[in-house]
């Protein structure tokens, strides 16, 4: 089922929402738009290109971050030692895997929070660290 790329867990992360409310908000959420084929008809939806979004948010363009899929709540946290939340603007954050040195999509962040200890990258990094320590 199509879904607005700015909708997550009852909140709207659209740049228009952040501009109006100062942070992601549930105020503009309308499931009739957010979870339908017609999400692009929502007044808070924007089809701005990646470059326009970066300029709008005041962020230097990066090939590694695409705001519509990377913006997360700034209070997200994971027990994974390789999970990092990076603030790029007031109330606008992205998640990063320090082991992979890559930004994590919003949909994958949920897995990093709930299942971090089952993550194959966490296991590889832990084994690598243990192996390095065993040399001494």
Kindly list the averaged pLDDT for each block of 10 residues, start to end, along the chain of length 136.
78 82 86 89 76 52 72 90 88 87 88 91 81 60
**Predicted structure pTM score:** 0.57
- Does residue 52 belong to any structural domain of this protein? no
pLDDT of the residue at 85 = 95
pLDDT for the residue numbered 100: 86
Same domain for 37 and 80, yes or no, is no
CA angle (10, 15, 20) in 5-degree steps: 85
Q: 81 and 132: one domain? A: yes
Indicate whether 57 belongs to any domain.
Answer: no
Residue 2 is predicted with a pLDDT of 62
C-alpha to C-alpha distance for 30 and 78, rounded to whole angstroms: 29
Residue 40 within a domain: yes
């Amino acid at each position: 089922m199509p879904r607005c790329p700015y909708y997550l867990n009852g909140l709207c992360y659209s740049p228009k929402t952040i501009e109006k409310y100062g942070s992601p908000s549930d105020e503009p959420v309308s499931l009739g738009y957010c979870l339908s084929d017609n999400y692009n008809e929502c007044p808070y939806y924007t089809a701005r290109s990646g470059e326009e979004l970066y300029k709008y948010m005041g962020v230097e363009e990066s090939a590694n971050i695409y705001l519509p899929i990377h913006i997360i709540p700034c209070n997200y946290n994971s027990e994974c030692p390789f999970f990092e939340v990076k603030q790029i603007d007031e109330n606008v954050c992205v998640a990063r895997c320090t082991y992979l040195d890559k930004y994590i999509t919003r949909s994958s962040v949920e897995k990093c929070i709930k299942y971090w200890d089952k993550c194959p990258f966490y296991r590889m990094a832990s084994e690598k660290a243990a192996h390095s320590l065993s040399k001494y």
